[in-house]
Amino acid sequence: MRGLIFDPFAGVSGDMTVAALLDLGLPLEWLQRFVAELNLGDVGVSAERVDRKGIAATRLVLNLPHEHAHRHLHHVVKIIEGTRVSPEVRDRAVHAFTLLAEAEAAVHGTTVQKVHFHEVGALDAIIDVLCAVAGCHELGATEFYTRPVALGRGWVDMAHGNFPVPPPAVLKLLAGIPVRDPEFEGECTTPTGAALVKALTNGAPPPVTFTPLANGFGAGTRDPQDRPNVLRLVLIEPQAGGEDAVMVVHCDVDDLPPEYVPTLLQAVLDAGAADCSAQPLVMKKGRTGVRIEALAEPGALDAVQAALFRAGTTIGLRFWPAARRTLPRRMEAVTWRGQEIRVKRSALPGGGERAKPEFDDVARAAANLGITPLEAYRGLLADGVAREQ
């Protein structure tokens, strides 16, 4: 299993992320071939070595056809789904743009369906997101973490006018994610960069112990005087079978209608919880109730607590730190009966491994093949793609 740490000490953008992946070892020839296969027009891709305050870094250079498109989310999703990227890359890219749409809609007081993408709906932003997600996949990164994100100060010109830094959409996207304010002038983190950090890491902090494998610096276009304008990415191998710190959060409720328990669990998971469960209780005065329990990384604690209060009926909750031990794991994509399916492989103590296909991929493959998800799962077991223990 490989992990990737975002270290946005001077901020993050889409092009800086792709450039850092190139600096990390992603072959430029692979990136050029990948962009050509997207069939998004005459797009030129190159890179150059630059110096940012004494740090040697890579800068991405895109030559794009001229366009005047102001797209809605469904236009961007249609473009992404029209490419030949893997389901995992497609889903993560769509997720990043959905987060962008939700943030923009909240800022402008409209709906996700009606919000207009301006800068972030341009072709370069679409390419940045697809290349960033696909590049991570190509380098074998399956787990993602982030250190605090630099915000910046001042004002920036955008399609809607002159906006304060950080732009409102950036703060919406970074809700629940650690940030820092180093008093850097100008825009440090763009909406596209914030969406990538949110979609990939959801604010998860790096593991306490890990082995660094490589690191790369991706340069921004500007070269300000107050900072090296670069993003650092660190490719790591988390400590096998090690422990990490999590927060246990739970609350007991006796006034939540049962049909709303699943939506509460999903809201908590969407807020960044690593897991969330419900169990029945007998509470005071003999009332039936339910206990909601969540596991969250420390950086996601505030967002998880907010989700419990918003999506449920509790007026109080409890939380405490705990240690968690996990099996070393990795995610790989396999082709089964012409369908691409992600399989999570976990190394077992003493040797051997457990292989489990991702349910969403199994369900999608089953629909494409005209069979039930259970039939697809049994077929995967019979063909040795997945293995029960």
Q: What is the mean pLDDT of residues 35-48?
A: 92
What confidence score (pLDDT) does residue 137 get?
A: 92
Residue 231: is its pLDDT beyond 90?
yes
The mean of the pLDDT values for the chain is 89
Count other C-beta atoms under 10 Å from residue 324's C-beta: 14
Residue with tokens 């096998």: 240
pLDDT value at position 160?
Answer: 58
Lowest-confidence pick of 119-128, 136-145, 190-199, 207-216: 119-128
Whole-number pLDDT of residue 305: 94
Mean pLDDT: which of 29-33, 78-82, 161-165, 298-302 is highest? 29-33
Q: Tell me, what's the pLDDT at 330?
A: 75
Contacts of residue 67, Cβ cutoff 8 Å, sequence gap at least 6:
122, 123
223 token code pair:
């070269």
Between 81 and 158, residue with greater pLDDT: 81
Q: What is the average per-residue pLDDT within 276-285? A: 95
Q: What are phi and psi of 96, to 5 degrees?
A: -60, -45
SS (H, E, C) the chain: CEEEEEECECECCHHHHHHHHHHHCCCHHHHHHHHHHCCCCCCEEEEEEEEECCEEEEEEEEECCCCCCCCCHHHHHHHHHCCCCCHHHHHHHHHHHHHHHHHHHHHHCCCCCCCCCCHHHCHHHHHHHHHHHHHHHHCCEEEEEECCEECEECEEEECCEEEECCCHHHHHHCCCCCEECCCCEEECCCHHHHHHHHHHHCCCCCCCCEEEEEEEEEECCCCCCCCCCEEEEEEEEECCCCEEEEEEEEEEECCCCHHHHHHHHHHHHHCCCCEEEEEEEECHHHCEEEEEEEEECHHHHHHHHHHHHHHCCCCCCEEEEEEEECCCEEEEEEEECCEEEEEEEEECCCCCEEEEECHHHHHHHHHHHCCCHHHHHHHHHHCCCCECC
Q: What are phi and psi of 173, to 5 degrees?
A: -65, -30
Strands 288-296 and 275-282: antiparallel
Q: What is the pLDDT of residue 351?
A: 77
- pLDDT band, residue 242 (cuts 50/70/90): low
CB 278 within 8 A of CB 291: yes
CA distances from 107 to 76, 120, 168, 212 (A): 19, 14, 7, 38
- Cis amide prior to 8 (ω within 30 degrees): no
Q: Confidence band (pLDDT; 50, 70, 90) for 363?
A: very high
Question: Out of 7-16, 43-52, 107-116, 339-348, which region has the weakest mean confidence (pLDDT)?
Answer: 107-116
Whether the per-residue pLDDT at 171 is higher than 60: the answer is yes
Query: Is the pTM above the cut of 0.75?
Result: no
**CA nearest neighbour of 191 among 224, 212, 165:** 165
- Residue 240 confidence (pLDDT) above 60: no
**pLDDT number for residue 39:** 86
Confidence check: pLDDT of 389 > 60: no
